[in-house]
Structure 1
Amino acid sequence: MSFQQGLSGLDAAASALDVIGNNVANASTVGFKRGNTNFADVYAASLGIVGASQIGIGVSVGAIQQQFTQGNLTTTDNALDLAVNGGGFFRMSDDGAISYTRNGQFHIDNQGYIINDQKLRLTGYPVSVTGAVTPANPIELQLSASQIPPRATSDPLAGDVTAVLNLDARATVPVLVPFDYTNPSTYNFSTALTVFDTLGVPHNLTTFYVLNPPTPPTGGEWTVHATLDGANPQTLAGNLVFDTSGALSSTPTYTLPSWPLSSGAQTPWSPGVIDFTGTTQYGSASSVDRLTQGGYATGSLVGIGVLSDGIVQGRYSNGQTRSMGQLVLATFADPNGLLNLGNNQWSATSTSGPELVGAPASGSRGVIQSAAVEDSNVDLTNELVAMITAQRNYQANAQTIKTQDQIMQTLINLR
């Protein structure tokens, strides 16, 4: 029986060395999860033998389990190198065959799909034409390199033109009248802003502020004039009126005038509504605190980034960003039940349970770090120490076989 026990020990120790060797070989493999060898003792099934009389017949390998602990994160220069900081697996598609990985070394193929080195495609949620994520069945993420269309300043989605100013309460009424935008002596203050027509062509919108005579003498009243591209001055239908505390007491919003355009865009055209909410009249120099508009010209894709919640975001030459999709992470009730396919890929089994898919940072899923990869979680120091232990076990089991052989030889030589 000792031969059988020793042989089982040799086999178990050899399996442990195989696992350790595989761990060491993959110490630099991105996303690799080290394995542990679990042993189980072996007893013969028999009748009439009480527990105190049983002698074991060796050892077996109970299981080889991978340890899904977090690996260290290493930064890279590729924005599509992605690391999961926490739980979950990237969900990959190979013509509809789904697999899972922790290796986030991705790039874009010639069709715009996000793929790994094995040409598997990353899956996630699509976005609508407005860039809103549409949670549905995950699809293969395909990024478009097309230009984004322009948005006119007058588009309701662009919002109002906003102008938060301070108009100097110490200013005096201009001596020269009437208003002439080419003569600074006929107005007190001016500011300019680039706006975009319906074709995305930029235009220079300049507003001029003229203090009116004090009627009544308290507070202040200002007339606002505007020009587009330095021509055709027009007056806003309403004045800015301030109370004695310097706060705006008149309506803060006005519709900007319309101007004829020759760019081929809609004409005549108005940049929309200008909102002066927050504008004041204090005793300091006239200044601009905020001057914004929501229009933009057409833009070409210049870069891609991935946010911590998995949103794949395109950056465009016009300064805009656009959501292009959201990658998903899959979790499992029992990750150790996953079937290892090699190439850092796993597939679901009945033991692992079905995939539970969701956005990063939801539930038990981790967050995404862009321009980083997750290192192997192999600790070389521990593996080398474990290798010495497994080697000693192997030698000890070999010694039991040698000893049993010597005993049997002694028995055979009895005469």
Structure 2
Amino acid sequence: MAFDTAISGINAASADLNVISNNIANASTVGYKTSRAEFADVFATSLLGAGGNAIGKGVSLSAVTQEFGQGNISFTDNALDLAISGGGFFQLSVDGALQYTRAGNFKVDREGFVVSNAGSRLQGFQVNSVGDVTGQLGDIQIDTSLLDPNPTGLVDLTSNLDSREVPPNVPFGGPFDAFALPPTSPDPSSFNATTSTTVYDGLGNPHVLSLYFVKTATPNQWEVHSLVDGVTTSGPDTLTFQSNGQFDPLTLPVEVNITGWQPLNAAGVGTGADPQDITVSLSDTTQFGTPFAVSSVIQDGFAAGQLRGLEIDSTGIAFARFTNGESRALAQIALANFNNPNGLQPIGDTNWVETFASGPSNVGAPGTSGLGVIQSAALEESNVEITAQLVDLIIAQRNFQANAQVIQAEDAVTQTVINLR
């Protein structure tokens, strides 16, 4: 009967309308992927198959597939808004069960975990104590505690001592103590050049390390004296240059070693930090006929730091920035891909779960093994094309109306047969 065939057509057109309306409704849903209704014709068959002149029995909905094409990327002001440029899915954990999504509008919950709007925890590769990324997957957590201070152990100084200088007329003297009564300090007429830098003790307290350079009567020879917070710590150490203004390579490295330095506070009392050793590297110092100048001073200590911001690079590594100028890797976002993404089962909240049809997930770092890269402070928009959906809507409406006309025609034929006498 044509009634059954037309009804199957109406059901198919209704399913098409449902899919299209769902696409239009999610045109602004972050990470949403367009769905498409796919149909197949129906034939009545016997044990030996259909006859040569078999007439179809209508249409059936064979599948609703999703198109995982790239959506447009829009930029935001939130560093935890993440977009994938290329293939792959974010991996989420919901009480240990894994889900997958392209929606990257994440936030931090009260425990510091990076979560989706539904509370699912973003997964990533963990880092070890020195900030190296490991292969261990787990929840990404933002540690908001203070970054422990690091005592200064090495100071690397690059400078030039003016070879035209003459030895001072006033002896340098010492040792000096800024906390003595009365305090003592170097006479400005007793040295040729000086420079200072900040160093840190084990509690993160800053201290001032000062170096004083004194030209001696011996050609190409200098003395260097070191003071921390105005207290003599070492010296004099002798620096001997070659006639070309550089150190003899056989004498490298040239260092000033401060041993057993006891950190003091502003009152001259110990800060409570342990005594520490500091090595001052002067191997890059030169003696040319130009004014004294310091090119760079690099030291490896820092004070305690409070979390100030978060940055995520294209490889998915999340860096925490602290108020002391340091940064530290917290984790690397993991991406997952599938041999058959269309086999994934949508479960709502723009999430999918793995199925037998999709195959197991292939997890890796962004930018590797065909996976896309991460764009921070950005979101992937829905890939729904509204214009195309409206055209499809007209086609589905026409199909519905056409099948309804078939029912009307069949009804008219049936009435004619009934009215036969």
Q: Distance in 1 between matches of 2:349 and 2:49?
A: 51
Whether 1:298 and 2:299 are equivalent positions in the alignment is no
Compute the displacement of 1:233 (Å): 6.0
Compute the displacement of 1:49 (Å): 5.8
| Aligned 8 A contact 2:172 2:186 in 1 | no
- Output the amino acid matched with 1:252: P
| Aligned 8 A contact 2:226 2:235 in 1 | yes
Whether 1:188 and 2:169 are equivalent positions in the alignment is no
Deviates more, 1:67-76 or 1:279-288: 279-288
Compute the displacement of 1:48 (Å): 7.8
Residue equivalent to 1:310: 316
Q: Distance in 2 between matches of 1:283 and 1:11?
A: 93
| Aligned 8 A contact 1:236 1:257 in 2 | no
Residue equivalent to 1:252: 253
Q: Distance in 1 between matches of 2:49 and 2:282?
A: 97
Compute the displacement of 1:311 (Å): 2.0
Identify unmatched segments of 5+ residues in structure 1.
Answer: 155-159
Q: Distance in 2 between matches of 1:49 and 1:36?
A: 30
Residue equivalent to 1:73: 73
| Aligned 8 A contact 1:334 1:352 in 2 | yes
Q: Distance in 2 between matches of 1:143 and 1:357?
A: 22
- 1:200 maps to which of 194, 200, 204: 204
TM-score of the superposed pair, with normalisation by structure 2: 0.88
Residue equivalent to 1:62: 62
Compute the displacement of 1:50 (Å): 5.5
Deviates more, 1:354-363 or 1:344-353: 354-363
- 2:346 maps to which of 332, 337, 340: 340
- Output the amino acid matched with 1:317: T
Q: Distance in 2 between matches of 1:86 and 1:48?
A: 46
Compute the displacement of 1:192 (Å): 0.9
TM-score of the superposed pair, with normalisation by structure 1: 0.90
Report the identity percentage.
43
Whether 1:366 and 2:360 are equivalent positions in the alignment is no
| Aligned 8 A contact 2:88 2:337 in 1 | yes
Residue equivalent to 1:398: 404
Whether 1:263 and 2:271 are equivalent positions in the alignment is yes
- Output the amino acid matched with 2:145: S
Residue equivalent to 1:125: 125
Q: 1:179 to 1:85 in 2, by over 3 A?
A: farther
| Aligned 8 A contact 1:3 1:401 in 2 | yes
- Output the amino acid matched with 1:319: G
| Aligned 8 A contact 1:32 1:376 in 2 | yes
Q: 1:236 to 1:11 in 2, by over 3 A?
A: farther
Residue equivalent to 1:157: none
1:163-214: CA deviations, max 9, x gaps? 1112223333333333676333322221111011122211101112222335
Deviates more, 1:19-28 or 1:224-233: 224-233
Compute the displacement of 1:222 (Å): 2.3
Higher strand residue share: 2
| Aligned 8 A contact 2:89 2:100 in 1 | yes
Compute the displacement of 1:404 (Å): 3.0
Residue equivalent to 1:170: 164
Identify unmatched segments of 5+ residues in structure 2.
Answer: 175-184, 264-269
- 2:362 maps to which of 350, 356, 361: 356
Q: Distance in 1 between matches of 2:40 and 2:159?
A: 78
Q: Distance in 2 between matches of 1:102 and 1:380?
A: 20
> Secondary structure of the residue that 1:270 maps to in structure 2?
strand
Residue equivalent to 2:8: 8
- Output the amino acid matched with 1:35: S
Instruction: Give the count of matched residue pairs.
Output: 401
Residue equivalent to 1:226: 226
Structure 1 residue ranges (4+ consecutive) displaced by more than 4 angstroms after TM superposition: 46-51
> Secondary structure of the residue that 2:56 maps to in structure 1?
coil
Deviates more, 1:10-19 or 1:22-31: 10-19
> Secondary structure of the residue that 1:77 maps to in structure 2?
coil
Whether 1:153 and 2:155 are equivalent positions in the alignment is no
Residue equivalent to 2:110: 110
Compute the displacement of 1:348 (Å): 0.7
